[in-house]
A and B are shown apart, each in its own frame.
Chain A
Amino acid sequence: MKGLFKSKPRTPADVVRQTRDLLLFVDRSPETRESKREEKMSELFKNIRELKSILYGNSESEPVSEACAQLTQEFFKEDTLRLLIKCLPKLNLEARKDATQVVANLQRQQVQFKLIASDYLEKNMDLMDILIVGYENQDMALHYGAMLRECIRHQIVAKYVLNSPRMKKFFDYIQLPNFDIAADAAATFKELLTRHKSTVAEFLSKNYEWFFAEYNTKLLESSNYITRRQAVKLLGDMLLDRSNSAVMTRYVSSRDNLRILMNLLRESSKSIQIEAFHVFKLFAANQHKPADIVSIFVANKSKMLRLLEDFKIDKEDEQFEADKAQVMREIEAL
């Protein structure tokens, strides 16, 4: 008789609901070795894998957009994301990876042309705090970091994180001794400061004093080679973006900033020298140089010209040579 009532295939919404129920069970039950719990965990792992399969497809089939939309809609109808983030430490490694990929994909899924993930996150910003602090947990950092980097693709979330007190913690996270975690934090930091241009411009203008004080002392003057290199590269990206021209003008009017960039220009690493040059040229090109900056240029004129004369990059780059010639002309004219 059982065969007469074949179970209807589960819809994507069914998979989400069952996953949510299982997460609730895992969230509430204490850590014990009882078989029922292990059975539930195993079923949860299968469900998360099923969600991933719906969103990404598999070797047999491509994702179906209607199924993805149904899944997404049900997922954000209730607190599935909160439960998933909260329960992540209790999952095994494969399930954590699958869950991370699910969360990443959901940030890009449209339901009736709307990114409903953004609406959910706007009402649940405390989840971002959990993801950020995840960098302090060695087991969770790379999973939470990947989720966070997808979430800050939403402008409203990036704005929240930039203006959060936890933003300051990134200056420490990107220098953590665990290199994988530090690199992940650096990728998130870069994304925060480059993706949403008007939000970044507003943030940098409003927080200029503390942000660049931290940037200079903790990053550009770090004893860690990797940190210095990443930081001077990102600094160039920020200042050369037209959205940040007001911030750039302010940055290149500071004598302390010029001193730091000139020291980076003397580094033994050619990579750091090249990135430092792209920022240094902005000081030289500034048509409204303050007197104290002019005096530093004058005092070091011959050394600067000699350094730039000998400064050559491996592959031919017309733009670089043109920039260098322009900088040398500006310095000679002082």
Chain B
Amino acid sequence: MNSAAVAIKSIDLDLSHPNILWVVMPFMAAGSLQSIISHSHPNGLTEPCIAVVLRDTLYALSYLHGQGHLHRSAITTSSSSSSSLKFTDVAGTPYWMAPEVIHSHTGYSFKADIWSFGITALELAHGRPPLLHLPPSKSMTNPSKRPNADKLLKHPSFKNRKGTDFLVKNVLQGLPSVEKRYKESKGNLHEDDDDPSMQVKQRRISGWNFNQDG
């Protein structure tokens, strides 16, 4: 366990903190569902697989909301080794943000997470976020008309007893790890490390001359 791989992400919080903030997280070898879908399932997942992902997301939202936490833009990620879904956060991701978060004049509530959940469901089915130039359904922009996570869990779609093993078998089987997928995509670039233009050193400018001629 001590040798378990971890993902280390440095977050430059711009001016809000004098140091770089390092976040140590469990390493999700399979990477984000978004990258998995774009790599191996560009037309989206099948309905049974979607149901597994969405059900586990709802359990996480139900738990977090019970703890009083908001999750302003909720996205799931996965791990091939532990066969579990982890719940991550991409704050400020506009595709997944509920309208009342974007227009946050009066604050927002747990219902903002339900909006993000809906967008994620559409992405799992279509392979991408819904078309942005089409107006969203009027009723769903009203937070009070959205159900909460516990109500959604009662929907028949989630009565399916299939577990995450089903998901591993149908989505993750044969999938290269996130490092390999990254190297594949990086290999498409024609970047040459020996490019002379990269060798340009930053020459220090010595002091300015502020003396004024008489």
Residues of A within 8 A of B (CB): 55-63, 105, 108, 179, 183, 186, 225-226, 229-230, 233, 255, 259, 262-263, 266, 292, 295-296, 299-300, 303, 306-307, 310
Contact = CB atoms under 8 A, between A and B. Distances in A.
Q: Which 7 A-B pairs have the closest CB atoms?
A: A62-B144, A299-B209, A307-B205, A57-B109, A59-B110, A300-B208, A262-B208
A303 B15 contact: no
Contacts of B207: 266
A179 B18 contact: yes
Given A179-B17, A186-B15, A230-B15, 19 more contacts: A55-B107, A56-B109, A57-B109, A58-B109, A59-B68, A59-B109, A62-B111, A62-B143, A63-B106, A105-B106, A108-B106, A183-B15, A229-B15, A233-B15, A259-B210, A263-B208, A296-B210, A296-B212, A299-B213
B66 to A, nearest CB: 8
B199 interface: no
10 contacts: A59-B66, A59-B109, A63-B109, A105-B106, A225-B18, A255-B212, A292-B212, A296-B208, A299-B209, A299-B211
B2 interface: no
B160 interface: no
Contacts of B141: none
Contacts of B144: 61-62
Say what secondary structure dominates the interface of chain A: helix
A176 to B, nearest CB: 13
Nearest to B210: A259
Nearest to A270: B202
Contacts of B25: none
Contacts of A230: 15
B206 A303 contact: yes
A303 B207 CA distance: 9
B41 interface: no
Nearest to A229: B15
Interface residues of B, number: 28
A142 to B, nearest CB: 13
B108 to A, nearest CB: 9
Nearest to B205: A307
A296 B68 CA distance: 59
A310 B209 contact: no
Interface in B15-73: 15-18, 65-66, 68
Nearest to A105: B107
Contacts of B1: none
Contacts of A105: 106-107
B18 A226 contact: yes
B212 A303 contact: no
A172 to B, nearest CB: 18
Nearest to A101: B107
A217 B145 CA distance: 55
Given A62-B143, A183-B16, A56 B110 contact: no
B131 interface: no
Nearest to A56: B107
B83 to A, nearest CB: 30
A59 B15 contact: no
Contacts of B200: 310
A230 B16 CA distance: 10
Interface string B65-100: 110100000000000000000000000000000000
A62 B65 CA distance: 14
Contact of A226 (B15, B109, B210): B15
